[in-house]
Amino acid sequence: MLSNVSKTFLSNIRKCNYWNATIRQMSAEKPIENSIKNKMTTNLVPSYLDVMNESYMHNVPPESETHFKIVIVSEHFFNLPNLKRHQLIYNLLKDELQNGVHALSIVAKTSQEWDAMDKNIGPSPNCRGGFGK
C-alpha cells in the first residue's frame, strides 16, 4: 500500500509527463517558429527574444507559419547598422525564407538600445500579398 507522500509523488510525475508530452506536441505543431527560435538563440545568444507568428492576420489557412515578427536583443548587433543586422538574420533564416515564410518583420537591438526605448513595438507593415498590390 502506498503512503500519501508516495501517491502525491506519483501524481506529480504523471502531471510532469503530461505537460512534457503537451509541450513536445505543441513544439511539433510549430516547426518553423521553433526553428526560428532555435537559430536565433543558438547563433545570436539574445538577452531578449520574441518570435511572433502573425500569419493569423493574413489570408492564409489556420495554423499557417508564413508571416513572422522577430524582436531580438543581442550584443552581436553592436556596431552593426540596421541593414547589416537584418542581413545577418535573413542569412540565418534562409531555409525558412525559401520554404514557406512569406514575410519577416525584424526589430533588432543591442541591450543598450533596448534599455533606452519604450518597448512599444508597433504593428508590422501591411502585407501586400507578394503581388505588389
Residues contacting residue 96 through CB under 8 Å, at least 6 positions apart: 32, 35, 36
Give residue 61's Cα distance to chain centre. 19
Provide the grid cell at 106: 525584424
| Confidence (pLDDT) at 3 | 63
With a CB cutoff of 8 Å and minimum separation 6, the contacts of 65 are 30, 31, 32, 33, 53, 55, 100, 101
Q: Give rounded-to-5 percent helix, strand, coil for the chain.
A: 50, 15, 35
pTM over 0.75: no
What is the model's pLDDT at position 46?
97
C-alpha to C-alpha distance for 40 and 50, rounded to whole angstroms: 10
CA angle (71 as vertex; 52, 65 as ends), nearest 5: 25
Alpha carbon 124 to its chain centroid, in Å, reads 15
Domains of the chain with CATH codes: 30-116 (3.30.300.90)
Give per-residue pLDDT as tens, 83-110: 999 999 999 999 999 998 989 999 999 9
3-state secondary structure of 57: helix
Q: For residue range 33-61, list pLDDT tens digits in order.
A: 999 999 999 999 999 999 999 988 888 88
**What is the β-pairing status of strands 48-53 and 67-73?**
antiparallel
